[in-house]
Amino acid sequence: MAATPEDVRAAVGAWIAAHWDPQRSLLEWRRQLVEHRWAVPSWPAHWFGRDLPAWADDVVATELRAREAVALPLGVGTGLAAPTILTHGRDSVRERFLRPILTGEETWCQLFSEPGAGSDLAGVTTHAVRDGDEWIVNGQKVWNTSAHHADFGILVARTDWDVPKHGGLTYFVLPMRQPGVEVRPLRQMNFHASFNEVFLSDAVIPGDHVVGAVGGGWAVAMTTLAHERRFGAMSRPRFSAAAGRATEEARQEADEHFRTYAWYPQRAGRADLLEEHARRAGRTEDPLVRQELAAVLSWQRVSGWTGDRASAARALGRPPGAEGSLGKLAMSVIARRAAAAHSLIGGAAGLLTGDDGAFEGTIGEVLLSVPAQSIAGGTDEIQRNIVGDKVLDLPREPSVDRDVPFRDVPRNA
């Protein structure tokens, strides 16, 4: 008989009760979680899972939280690299990389965007050339979050210039810690520095670090992007009050992770602070403020339902669909409207950053961070193109470079 969420909750609850010991190391705990196949129960039994539907992952996460036990690491490894490698990787690639992603022993970054290829990802010119048992890579990537402390990068590079642009790409796992990889942090207008430029000069990739087929990188990248669109706001895990080695190490890991992502809540608009700010400013009776707050909260509620629809589809085993693009667009709308509502409440002082600004500078940081919500992971315009194409079945955007060899496509030098 098929397992129900209640069965899974009871089974994982009993397992956590028997095995969770905050005094042991974080690595030991996560290794146990993986070996006992509770890390990602929706994965195939052969790959650390239990062949359960996707809802089982949520049940386990909820149960771990309820029992104040540490969960999987956050970030590009578990969020993007692992599901992509699981779907497209050969067994040797899965064998090499999946386990240390789940235990947090190795960290990852995403090396897709380039100065001349962001929305048009298929236009990348970073190239990899086969040399015996290895690939040699040259080019430049940009906006690469966390690349400054990553062990590996998921990399899209051109391996064939003589076929149309989508067909000449290959998806690699690039070892970051090598002389041919230079990572330079970029400082943002909101004063944070979470992403980097990455220069690749004769960087070396072992021959077996290809994910999917050589020349088949576009389909693999689409899997990564589908997962990226589902990425919601990341919340910091709660840790047990009881001190222990595993919880202390997890706390340090989270501190490091959230140093990079510290501004992401501001990027999402901090709608959660609107009511409090309206009260503190004495503006709760102001009809304009009330109207804006109601609009933001309505958008949030409706977008939550779209998210629920996406979860239900995932639980039924359907691949990520249009809800991803719709959800991502809604997040942009919410972020912008929340920023506007904050400005209405905070007035001119909202434009000041730091402690001089309204509400300890939160509004200033929101205003400087919100534009990124409409860019990261595919811009609003690109999401609209996807919705037009895939949901509304409108004619495709005209293109002059899809069917010619990439070598002949006009581009900036």
Ligand X SMILES: Cc1cc2nc3c(=O)[nH]c(=O)nc-3n(C[C@H](O)[C@H](O)[C@H](O)COP(=O)(O)OP(=O)(O)OC[C@H]3O[C@@H](n4cnc5c(N)ncnc54)[C@H](O)[C@@H]3O)c2cc1C
* Residue numbers annotated as active site: 228
Closest separation between CB of residue 117 and ligand X, Å? 7
Task: Tell me 152's DSSP state.
Answer: E
Distance of CA 389 to the CA centre of its chain: 24
Distance CA 369, CA 339 (A): 10
Q: Which is nearer to ligand X, 228 or 292 (CB)?
A: 228
Ramachandran class of 39: left when φ > 0, alpha when ψ lies in -120 to 50, beta otherwise: alpha
Residue 205 has phi, psi (to 5 degrees) of: -120, 125
Q: Which residues are near ligand X by CB under 6 A?
A: 109-113, 118-119, 143-145, 195, 372, 375-376, 378-379, 381-382, 385, 397
Distance CA 309, CA 48 (A): 27
Helix, strand or coil, per DSSP, at residue 300: helix
Q: Which is nearer to ligand X, 289 or 330 (CB)?
A: 330
Closest separation between CB of residue 116 and ligand X, Å? 8
Tell me which residue has tokens 């990425």.
Answer: 231
According to DSSP, the β-strands at 196-206 and 127-131 are: unpaired
Number of residues that make up the chain: 413
- Tell me the two tokens of residue 305: 């339902």
Q: Which is nearer to ligand X, 69 or 335 (CB)?
A: 335
Q: Which is nearer to ligand X, 42 or 369 (CB)?
A: 369
Distance CA 222, CA 377 (A): 12
Closest separation between CB of residue 144 and ligand X, Å? 5
Q: Which is nearer to ligand X, 110 or 325 (CB)?
A: 110
Closest separation between CB of residue 143 and ligand X, Å? 3
**Under a CB-based contact definition with an 8 Å cutoff, are residues 252 and 32 in contact?**
no
Q: Which is nearer to ligand X, 247 or 383 (CB)?
A: 383
Instruction: Count the neighbouring beta carbons within 10 Å of the beta carbon of residue 390.
Output: 12
Closest separation between CB of residue 255 and ligand X, Å? 20
Distance CA 165, CA 158 (A): 9
Instruction: Count the neighbouring beta carbons within 10 Å of the beta carbon of residue 10.
Output: 13
Q: Which is nearer to ligand X, 107 or 110 (CB)?
A: 110
Distance of CA 91 to the CA centre of its chain: 24
Closest separation between CB of residue 375 and ligand X, Å? 4
Instruction: Count the neighbouring beta carbons within 10 Å of the beta carbon of residue 165.
Output: 26
Strand residues in 162-276 grouped as ranges (E): 169-175, 181-185, 196-206, 210-211
Closest separation between CB of residue 262 and ligand X, Å? 12
Closest separation between CB of residue 28 and ligand X, Å? 30
Q: Residue with CB nearest ligand X?
A: 118
According to DSSP, the β-strands at 152-158 and 134-142 are: unpaired
Instruction: Count the neighbouring beta carbons within 10 Å of the beta carbon of residue 271.
Output: 21
Distances (CA, A) of 241 to 25, 52, 369: 17, 32, 32
Q: Which is nearer to ligand X, 311 or 385 (CB)?
A: 385
